[in-house]
Amino acid sequence: MKEGKIIHFYKNRKIFFAISAAIMIIGILFSIFKGVVLDIQFTGGALLSYSYDGEIDENRAGDIATDILGRPVTPQLTESISEGTKKLVLNIAGKSGVDPLDQAELEKALKAEFPQANLELSEAQMVEKFFGDKFMKRGITALLLSTALVLVYVWIRFKIVGGLSAGVTAIIALVHDCLVVFFTCVIFGLPIGDNFVAVALSIIGYSINDTIVIYDRIRENAKLYSGYEVETIADLSITQSMTRSIMTNLCVMISVSLVYILAFANSIESVQSFALPMAIGSISGCYSTICISGPLWVMWKKKKGENIITVEKKEEKKDTKAKKYYY
């Protein structure tokens, strides 16, 4: 049967690094000029949304709300594409929730002002700043802790191909993907909240899983083709596992994109803000695994003067001191 050709990822690394750098710069520029929107889950704040029929003067509704709540209110009207349900969204300024009594009073006033509109409360989200800070701290802890534990795991499991180098380059790929998810949120104006943490954590899981499959192949090939250059071994391993990376991420992307499309058509924002960064994150995860973490690992090895990996099967279990001799 016909054999495939090795793709030279390492040789073309500068192109890949440039692409990633460009994405990062665009993302940073967006973050600076467009600003990062934190979800009221993390900052504290108040949001009310009502479903209605017919027409509503949103500015009038905003004025009523400002009057009753004593805080500036930004009104907004939304309409779902598939079912045509209309909603009045009231964004209440400030970093605290609204007292339930005031909320009940506001609802009464709105119903009195628009008796024809059939107003119904659809969603209320109130967060005190104290809890917002707490949720944010928890989210960040979860992110950092899982990154650290993953690093430790990879370090231990991949001692044979130089545990630390494998761990660190895997983490670089992972940070890359998290940043892509973050920038996606910024560019599309999605608020950073619990959803972001969930997406970032699943991308961490995926991205590390992807990278591990390649390191695993490197570990295997290093034994099989003892004496070859690191560059060749890495390119070979990446090429061998490339279809797998693409297939898996394609499947993830299909499922998440479907969720996004349906959520978009029904204008369910909480689901959308989860699915979109997830879909883009899975593309990034596939890309960073294939084009970034492998070549980076080779660079690390070369810098240390370890151009050739020689692993003899028997030596696998010897201590690190003995192994140094062979690298």
Partner 1 sequence: MKKKLGFFGVLLVTALMVYIAAFGIKTEKIKLYGAPDIRFGIDIRGGVEAIFQPVGIDTKPTHEQLEAARAVFETRLDQRNIVDREVIPSTTEGYIIVRFPWKADETEFDPAKAIEELGQTAKLTFRDAQGNILLDGQHVVNAKPDRDENNFPVVSLSFDDEGTKIFSNITKKLIGQPLSIYMDEENICTATVMTQITNGQAVITNMKSFENAQKLANQINSGALPFSMETKTYSTISPSLGTGSLKVMINAGLIAYIIICILLIVYYRLPGFVASIALLIQIAGQILFLSIPQMSLTLSGIAGIILSIGMGVDANVISSERINEEIRAGKSIEAAIEAGFSNSFSSIFDGNVTVLIVSIILMLYGSGSLASFGYTLFAGIVFNFIAGVTASRIMIYSLSSYKFLKKPALYTCLTRRVTL
103 binding partner 1? (CB under 8 A): yes
Give the number of other Cβ atoms within 10 Å of residue 276's Cβ. Answer: 23
Which residue has tokens 């279990």? Answer: 317
CB of 202 to partner 1, least distance (A): 5
Torsion of CA 241, 242, 244, 245, to 10 degrees: 110
278 binding partner 1? (CB under 8 A): yes
Within 76-95, which residues bind partner 1 (CB under 8 A)? 83
CB of 87 to partner 1, least distance (A): 9
175 binding partner 1? (CB under 8 A): no
Pick between residue 27 and residue 190 the one whose CB is nearest to partner 1.
190
Pick between residue 31 and residue 266 the one whose CB is nearest to partner 1.
266
Distances (CA, A) of 111 to 65, 88, 106, 114, 220: 12, 12, 9, 5, 69
Within 133-172, which residues bind partner 1 (CB under 8 A)? 135, 138-139, 141-142, 145-146, 149-150, 153-154, 157
Take residue 143 and report the two structure tokens written for it.
């992110």
11 binding partner 1? (CB under 8 A): no
Nearest-Å Rg of the Cα atoms of the chain is 26
Among 104, 112, 164, 322, binds partner 1 (CB under 8 A): 104
3-state secondary structure of 7: coil
CA 103, chain centre distance (Å): 34
Instruction: Find the part of the chain contacting partner 1 (CB under 8 A) among 9-17, 257-265, 302-310, 319-327.
Output: 257-265
Which string of x and - marks every residue 200-239 that binds partner 1 (by CB under 8 A)? -xx-xxx-xxx-xx--xx--x----x--x---x---x--x
Q: What is the DSSP letter of 85?
A: -
CB of 58 to partner 1, least distance (A): 19
CB of 162 to partner 1, least distance (A): 16
Instruction: Find the part of the chain contacting partner 1 (CB under 8 A) among 64-72, 177-185, 243-251, 308-316.
Output: 243-251
Which residue has tokens 């104290």? Answer: 130
Could you tell me if 47 and 93 are in contact, meaning their C-beta atoms sit under 8 angstroms apart?
Answer: no
Instruction: Find the part of the chain contacting partner 1 (CB under 8 A) among 10-18, 27-35, 103-111, 316-324.
Output: 103-111
Among 35, 70, 72, 100, binds partner 1 (CB under 8 A): 100
327 binding partner 1? (CB under 8 A): no
67 binding partner 1? (CB under 8 A): no
Among 31, 66, 122, 226, binds partner 1 (CB under 8 A): 122
Do strands 45-52 and 86-92 pair parallel, antiparallel, or not at all (unpaired)? antiparallel
- How far is the C-alpha of 26 from the C-alpha of 178, rounded, in Å? 15
Pick between residue 27 and residue 65 the one whose CB is nearest to partner 1.
65
Instruction: Report phi then psi at 47, rounded to 5.
Output: -145, 135
Among 255, 304, 318, 322, binds partner 1 (CB under 8 A): 255
Instruction: Report phi then psi at 314, rounded to 5.
Output: -70, -30
30 binding partner 1? (CB under 8 A): no
- How far is the C-alpha of 316 from the C-alpha of 159, rounded, in Å? 9
- How far is the C-alpha of 248 from the C-alpha of 285, rounded, in Å? 11
Instruction: Report phi then psi at 316, rounded to 5.
Output: -50, -40
Pick between residue 19 and residue 145 the one whose CB is nearest to partner 1.
145
